[in-house]
A and B are shown apart, each in its own frame.
Chain A
Amino acid sequence: EDKVVQSPLSLVVHEGDTVTLNCSYEVTNFRSLLWYKQEKKAPTFLFMLTSSGIEKKSGRLSSILDKKELFSILNITATQTGDSAVYLCAVERSGNQFYFGTGTSLTVIP
């Protein structure tokens, strides 16, 4: 059965800390892995990863994919209170199907 598992489920850190969020998957006919930041109702797209070992970076956020070990990590450095959100990982398989993890809830304390 195809599945996406995120860890930890929740995380509380202080401003300035660095966090690493994990996403492992078992999905047949893998096409891509996506990270989203969800605040309130609508997720904001962060990264799409298709190739192993190539880091994608946007400001303090970065992500990398390992297609051999079937996981991805999302790193956030120098965290700020505005980073508090649920971070979702999704895997796309061929046939236009997506599988989402349950998310990691990040709380950044001032």
Chain B
Amino acid sequence: GAGVSQSPSNKVTEKGKDVELRCDPISGHTALYWYRQSLGQGLEFLIYFQGNSAPDKSGLPSDRFSAERTGGSVSTLTIQRTQQEDSAVYLCASSLEGVTDTQYFGPGTRLTVL
């Protein structure tokens, strides 16, 4: 079946612009995760959605970052007023019910802020 998809695969933007990253989880998966991986860094957890529950936003790097999940399915990660340090690969994953289930990762969005 279809896996987790993300769009765009690559995004180049200018400093100060807003960007929106999209994640389509596997159909039927109630849990959705956003991660970020910067060059030479480990995987950084950003935010986790479980069903319709309000997510814990404390993992987001700054208040320029926000995330939504509409209808318990598609999620968007928005970065406002992008900075060069936001350049990274943004990964989305989904799992069937929660964190005890296998997480299936999407291919990622490579964001470059000039």
Contacts and interface: CB of A to CB of B under 8 A. Distances in A.
A8 to B, nearest CB: 15
- Residues of A in contact with B, size category: 20 to 34
Interface string B5-29: 0000000000000000000000000
A16 B106 CA distance: 31
A38 B56 CA distance: 26
25 contacts: A32-B99, A32-B100, A36-B43, A41-B37, A41-B110, A42-B91, A42-B108, A48-B100, A48-B102, A50-B100, A88-B43, A90-B45, A95-B56, A95-B58, A96-B50, A96-B55, A96-B56, A97-B45, A97-B56, A98-B45, A100-B42, A100-B43, A101-B42, A102-B42, A103-B42
B95 to A, nearest CB: 9
A42 B107 CA distance: 6
Interface of A: 4, 31-32, 36, 38, 41-45, 48, 50, 88, 90, 92, 95-103
A43 B105 contact: yes
